[in-house]
Amino acid sequence: MLKVQDKFQKQNDEVDFQTDGFPHSFSKDIPSSFSSIGNQVFYLWSIFLKFHRANKTKILAFLCNQWAIDRKAEWSIWMVHTKVELPHQYGSSEVAESSYHGFHGRPPVLQKLTGDPVQTAAMRAELHRRSIAQMRINNRCIQDMHVFGDPSRIPIVIVEHVVNLPLRSGCRNSYFSELDQKAKSSPIYCSDSTLTNKISIASPRQSSRVLKIVVFVHGFQGHHLDLRLVRNQWLLLDPKVEFLMSEVNEEKTSGNFWEMGHRLAQEVVSFVKKKMDKFSRSGVLRTIKLSFVGHSIGNIILRTALTENIMEPYLRYLHTYPSVSGPHLGYLYSSNSLFNGGLWLLKKLKGTQCIHQLTFTDDPDLQNTFLYKLSKEKTLENFRNIILLSSPQDGYVPYHSARIEMCPASSGDSSKKGKAFLEMLNNCMDQIRASSTEYRVFMRCDVNFDISLQGRNLNTIIGRAAHIKFLETDIFARFIMWSFPDLFR
């Protein structure tokens, strides 16, 4: 093209133009020049296609990994990370917020503003929301800029990494370490003869597969698809996971927790056996990773299911447990008077048995109540990763109950009620401390939604708005899952 241009400039006024305005020599050279350029572009394109076909897996993995890194950095704007020291034993005079420490060993400033953990968490999130009000989402990557909307309306997630967990073998606290990955990939054996026959070590020539199952359990009067948004995010992170949206207790959540747990256990065992048979036919099944996700009282149902005898062979395969606003310590110290009135009506008018169990009115002796007995069952100690999601705006579930921590109202209560609550709390925390695995991750995540646009209505007054927000949005799940992918793979 440069040669043609020079020749055209030299001839200038001396050339004889045709009717189309091009000189004879130029009209002869330009087709060959374009043909040469086209051949070179085609050659480069062929090389690119050949390279892409030969390395498509590596290219796709690189792009996915780079996307995840970019999103993790971008979404970290709405996440606050702190470390919390876990006391070896809770006492009646302890205050929950006394164990808070920042990353540099200094207590957060907000802890001095109020003694109420609910108000402290809400104020802390609001201050962080104001600090990012002027920030903009990174627009250098190709993405839909309307995914997030107004940055000031996005939920704030406060992640508290619980440290000082006494683990077996003198292991150090490690989040997502390489050693943890090696431990996860090692074969696991089971005393049950049926599982032993199906789970074995693969030879070098055999394909070894890991069966990953996630069970989603809905809450009171819920639907089996309530947690579908969380499920979708989990599938995006790990497309090979098998999921079970529990249906056996749909329209049956007013009954006894023992019965609901029994039905769920049967459903889970049947599903796991079905998937194990399918996997064992297509290759060698090396191990299982069984995870549970519960919303509201679904967490109590799934913990009850883990106490069933038929679930015992599968307890050693428990992997990750995200608890979404679960009333693990019941309603002994519930400060929402409107919601307490609704619970009282359900007990009096409908005789809802699970409400009696949640409010400790199912037996005159607190130590004979359902939740007290459940706290003594080893329902948490076999999970490798435990994530407790709560919201200070949630009026349906007491804040301390969802987080399994000390309640300020019980700290000075020396009555039987206070002692029973303290025993339940220590029973639950002892399971988390006495890890049956070499490594464990225990986190508490506060999700602070922006519900200002909803105005003042019945849902916001009684605290239902935030409780349902866990089901209506998946942004908080997106933040947590993509920030800690090793917990969900």
Phi, psi values for residue 9, rounded to 5°: -70, -35
Query: Is pLDDT at 19 greater than 50 in this prediction?
Result: no
pLDDT at residue 66, rounded to an integer: 82
3-state helix, strand, coil in the chain (%, to 5): 50, 15, 35
Using an 8 Å Cβ cutoff, are 330 and 404 in contact?
A: no
Share of the chain above pLDDT 90, in %: 32
Residue 177 pLDDT level (bands cut at 50, 70, 90): very low
pLDDT at residue 79, rounded to an integer: 84
Q: 268-297 pLDDT, tens per residue?
A: 999 999 999 888 787 778 889 999 999 999
Taking the CA atoms of 470, 159, 317 and 210 in sequence, report the sign of the dihedral they define. Answer: positive
Distance CA 241, CA 458 (A): 39
Using an 8 Å Cβ cutoff, are 381 and 435 in contact?
A: yes
pLDDT at residue 134, rounded to an integer: 62
Which has more pLDDT, 267 or 126? 267
Distance CA 266, CA 263 (A): 5
The tokens for 230 are 């969380």
How many helices (H) and strands (E) in the chain? 17, 9
The tokens for 236 are 């995006």
Highest mean pLDDT: which of 187-191, 337-341, 409-413, 472-476? Answer: 472-476
Report the candidate in 390, 388, 380, 402 with the shortest Cα–Cα distance to residue 334. 402
Cross-strand partners of 157: 79, 447
Distance CA 159, CA 444 (A): 6
Using an 8 Å Cβ cutoff, are 400 and 334 in contact?
A: no
Give me the mean pLDDT over the 403-423 stretch.
86
Give me the mean pLDDT over the 401-408 stretch.
89
* Cβ-defined contacts of 32-36 (< 8 Å, 24+): 33/1, 33/4
8-state DSSP, 489: -
The tokens for 326 are 């679960």
pLDDT at residue 423, rounded to an integer: 92
Query: Which three-class secondary structure state does DSSP give residue 103?
Result: coil
Using N-to-C axis directions, what is the helix angle for 56-75 and 24-54, rounded to 10°? 80
CATH topology of domain 156-487: Rossmann fold (3.40.50)
Give me the mean pLDDT over the 7-13 stretch.
54
Torsion of CA 473, 478, 481, 482, to 10 degrees: 180
The tokens for 474 are 């998946």
pLDDT at residue 335, rounded to an integer: 75
Give me the mean pLDDT over the 106-131 stretch.
64
Distance CA 98, CA 199 (A): 46
Using an 8 Å Cβ cutoff, are 345 and 412 in contact?
A: no
Distance CA 126, CA 449 (A): 10
pLDDT at residue 126, rounded to an integer: 78
Residue 88 pLDDT level (bands cut at 50, 70, 90): low
Across the chain, what does the average pLDDT equal?
Answer: 78
Rounded to two decimals, the pTM is 0.75
8-state DSSP, 438: S
Residues ≥6 apart with Cβ < 8 Å to 481: 233, 234, 237, 487, 488
The tokens for 250 are 């749909």
Highest mean pLDDT: which of 168-182, 218-232, 474-488? Answer: 218-232
Cross-strand partners of 320: 385
Least reliable range by pLDDT among 19-28, 292-301, 443-452, 468-477: 19-28
Share of the chain above pLDDT 70, in %: 73
Which has more pLDDT, 113 or 308? 308
Using an 8 Å Cβ cutoff, are 429 and 90 in contact?
A: yes
Report the candidate in 426, 443, 454 with the shortest Cα–Cα distance to residue 487. 443
Distance CA 360, CA 419 (A): 14
Using an 8 Å Cβ cutoff, are 289 and 368 in contact?
A: no
Pairing of strands 79-85, 100-101: antiparallel
Give me the mean pLDDT over the 237-249 stretch.
93
Using an 8 Å Cβ cutoff, are 387 and 481 in contact?
A: no
In one-letter notation, the amino acid at residue 315 is L
Using an 8 Å Cβ cutoff, are 220 and 343 in contact?
A: no
CA-angle at 346, arms to 446 and 298, nearest 5°:
40
The tokens for 351 are 């005789």
Q: 300-335 pLDDT, tens per residue?
A: 999 999 999 999 999 999 999 999 999 999 998 887
Residues ≥6 apart with Cβ < 8 Å to 283: 202, 206, 207, 208, 209
